Structure 1
């Protein structure tokens, strides 16, 4: 009976899967296209509301920590030696809006190690399924999609890591008010802040702990916006003061102009598009906020997509997953079918029960969310500049085989910040090999990870952990 259920689920979910870059679905491109269409109608970008502090909802948290403790995941390997928790934090009781989290404490020194929040992007993609289960969490789902194996390079080895599914409608997070699923940057930051204030009431031992925010892709918006809100609210609130020490952004969208120019330049320099297509884009496209996308520009962009053909943009050298053949590991050893294993595992009723999750059809990404995104600033570079001047640590890192938000995009974005170099570009080493390259700027660190795609801890887990360790230590790798 169980086997028949799993086979039926396997077929249903593989037909409808919506993951990062899978089956032609690109949440980032969907969101950017929707915002471009909006600007072409209104003639300008969405403006961000002026900041004003107001107290946030704080619910009764007594006893909820114990209720959230996970006894064990189905198929969990023996020798698991850390505490883990998952459940919901209500952020808007009148709407019934609740965000799902998964928390993995460190096996050693959990009482002194820092607290780190991880956010995946999309917008609309799951920090638990993608971040924890595919990238930096303590477990990986095996090809049988019923058992787990240890990830020896998990980030909770050196920090207590909190994964948040945000906003409502992503992963296991939900709202009882359907209009809440039409949301944007500003509400996402507010809800994430409300989540943190309430979560720290549930786990009060972390209230004064050093706190860091990390994330990738569209979290290039989420992370700096949340950090900015925390620092501003810390000055005014009589609620919990959050001890924010730093942020790290991986292969992150922070500026729409450099995202486009950097992506097409990367395609050209990596032999994905022709000289003619690249020249056509450079000559005909104005990707600035005030620029208009002409018919000629659009035509060359479509030519670029056709020329790119059937490769996985998020890791240009990776093999594709086929459900009809044995998967071939990528150069880095990552199984390209991993997202399918996660999808099937997280949609098993026993797994959802172990997570204290509301029973639902879990998806890697909510395909409707990017189309309905209400506010998305063209650039968050001014927010990053504000954070650079605040005294917290600001790192940007980039896997160098990502074609979606490539290393060129990150470098062009940093150039716009016009910050001076303190430590010139140099190779950093890991186990006798070049792990990547690093440059230290005034109030900013930029690091590349050699051989990693968009999801750095998936493709280069050892180098990713070395990078993370350096970030927490505040030292260049």
Structure 2
């Protein structure tokens, strides 16, 4: 028997209910500032960017979400709807690390975002491998003091840490979903790289515990994926030394001294003897990009200091067509007044000089977990889908470090180590554990979507679909 709704017999009723729905959706008053979600979205909608010589079929929005009216604490976001049928696609949040580095500068402008910055820093071009091919993508500059995110209380910038960042990011999401209620309850995933190896699992844990405490389901977290991720101080440190030695970057003697003199449990508090041998290791590496050891470094940028190599102060220097100076291009573009106006940066709170990373935040970070592995165990038991990926030419958080961390979880193997393929070529290797999937990307450095954009798009597609990386007989292509 055919089932008929209330509008099948009386077509005008269907139109009435549709209009009624849109009335309540667009004109329901939000708690923030008395504006409706529709008004906020219209205010934050981005139309034409400086240097944009092409049209796009997707909508995108940028602006602030105020976390604390009293202190004037606000986080800056840029949100891109999927290229096709955004209403059916999941929502993905991307976070860069540092700590103190901008997701707008890196994730958006040179990795997985729809727009990348041209070599002169005055325009943008379309990224054919943008992740909004398969999902709605939200970029967040977190914590306050990063990129265009700000606080009227300077103490907030000087006192960031893991705990406050997770708390503020959760508060951001709760308010962002109120401003974009059409995404409430949508399948939601967290992604990121580098120090986001802390941010992402910690935020996932905060969301899960918030759900358990309140029963609130507007943030429908399904899983997370992190790449070249800082995970465990001991294994990360030990893996760096081993990778540098195995790749022929340091001498046998230096490798032995690093292991004998440096405390693997901490990247921050080192002895004088360890400091000296770290300097020797830095000299032996020479002027290479430690984030991608087989590709050219940006000429004229000076040598990479030991701090940059071993304390994770920056995140990468390259682009899809291999321009190793993309960071310079972003600095030019996002300091242009017309760009800041187009993306709704409030000049009253804009930094005097926008930069890709904020060293004050990095140097004054208050709390950093020695290991994130206990959070993995908690969230695996909770049932989230968890993937870790690793570009295998990164010496800063190398594949050796990630493999040691995964091994420490002692998870049963479901599918053993094997190659995966893209267009008939080995794209990397993968192993599926009970509760976690590990994927390496062959030939990629620290910023996988930058170095291997096509393979990175395949990676996010497989992750979101819950499918393993393709084998030779079933390799996928775009």
TM-score strictly above 0.5: yes
1:421 lines up with 2:413 in the alignment: yes
Matches within 5 A, 1:98-137: 98-137=74-113
Distance 1:301 1:79, change over 3 A: same
CA distance in 1, matches of 2:31, 2:444: 40
SS of match in other structure, 1:427: strand
Contact 1:58 1:198 in 2 (8 A): no
Does the aligned pair in 2 maintain the 1:252–1:405 contact within 8 Å? yes
Tell me if 1:59 matches 2:32.
Answer: yes
Instruction: Tell me the TM-score normalised to structure 2 length.
Output: 0.84
* 2:200 paired with 1:223: yes
Compared with structure 1, are the counterparts of its residues 318 and 167 closer, same or farther at alpha carbon in structure 2 (3 Å cutoff)? same
Matched, 1:248 2:225: yes
Contact map agreement 1:77 1:150 (CA 8 A) in 2: no
The aligned counterpart of 2:428 is 436
**Structure 2 spans left out of the alignment, 5+ residues:** 1-29, 302-316, 470-478
Pair 1:357 & 2:316 matched: no
* CA–CA distance in structure 2, aligned partners of residues 351 and 101 of structure 1: 15
Change (3 A) 1:58 1:392: farther
Return the offset for 1:209. 0.5
2: CA distance, partners of 1:406 / 1:304: 16
Partner Cα distance (1:185, 1:292) in 2:
18
Answer whether contact 2:237 2:267 (CA < 8 A) is retained: no
Match of 1:463 in 2: 455
User: Distance in 2 between the 1:278 and 1:331 partners?
Assistant: 31
Per-residue deviation, 1:241: 3.4
Query: Is 1:450 aligned to 2:442, yes or no?
Result: yes
Displacement of 1:295 in angstroms is: 4.0
Which structure: larger Rg?
Answer: 2
Residues 285 and 322 from structure 1, CA distance in 2 versus in 1: closer, same or farther, beyond 3 angstroms? closer
2:86 is paired with a residue of what secondary structure?
coil
Q: Give yes or no for the alignment of 1:307 onto 2:289.
A: no
SS at structure 2 position matched to 1:271 = coil
> What is the CA–CA distance in structure 1 between the aligned matches of 2:269 and 2:446, rounded to whole Å?
29
Q: Is the 8 A contact 2:100 2:358 kept in 1?
A: yes
Residue 415 of structure 1: CA displacement?
Answer: 1.3
How big is each residue's C-alpha offset from its partner over 1:309-352, in whole Å with a ceiling of 9 and x where there is no partner? Answer: 2111111112122369xxxx979732111111111011100000
Deviation per residue, 1:121-171 (Å, 9 max, x gap): 000000011110010000111112212111000000100000000000000
Report the equivalent of 1:384: 376
1:454 positional shift:
0.5
Asked if the contact 1:317/1:331 (under 8 Å) is kept, the reply is no
Superposed displacement of residue 282, structure 1:
2.2
1:79 pairs with 2:55? yes
Residue 288 of structure 1, CA deviation: 2.9
RMSD: 2.0
Aligned-partner Cα distance in 2 for 1:441–1:131: 28
Aligned counterparts of 1:331 and 1:212: Cα–Cα separation in 2:
25
Distance (Å, rounded) in 2 between the aligned partners of 1:278 and 1:203: 52
Per the alignment, residue 185 of structure 2 pairs with 208
Q: 1:393 to 1:283 in 2, by over 3 A?
A: same
Separation in structure 1 between the aligned mates of residue 66 and residue 46 of structure 2, nearest angstrom: 19
Question: Per-residue displacement from partner, 1:193-213 (whole Å, max 9, x unpaired)?
Answer: 010010000100100100000
- 308, 326, 331: which is aligned to 1:343? 331
Tell me the secondary structure at the aligned position of residue 350 of structure 1. Answer: helix
1:262 maps to 2:239: yes
Hey, what does 1:394 align to over in structure 2? 386
Q: TM-score, normalised by structure 1?
A: 0.84
Q: In the superposition, relative to structure 1, how do residues 129 and 332 fare at CA in structure 2: closer, same or farther (>3 Å)?
A: closer
User: 1:58 Cα deviation (Å)?
Assistant: 6.1
SS at match of 1:244: strand
8 Å contact 2:319–2:450 — kept in the other structure?
no
Partner in structure 1 of residue 213 of structure 2:
236
Task: Give the match for residue 322 of structure 2.
Answer: 334
Q: Which residue of 2 aligns with 1:277?
A: 254
1:236-257 CA distance string (max 9 Å, x none):
2265531000100110001111
Show CA shifts across 1:40-72 (max 9, x none).
Answer: xxxxxxxxxxxxxxxxx9634522111000011
CA 331–179 in structure 1, closer or farther in 2 if over 3 Å, else same: closer
* Cα distance between partner residues in 1 of 2:68 and 2:267: 37
2:143 is aligned to 167
- Give the distance between the partners of 1:290 and 1:117, measured in 2 at CA: 28
Measure the CA separation in 2 of the matches of 1:439 and 1:349. Answer: 47
The answer as to whether partners of 1:117 and 1:213 remain within 8 angstroms in 2 is yes
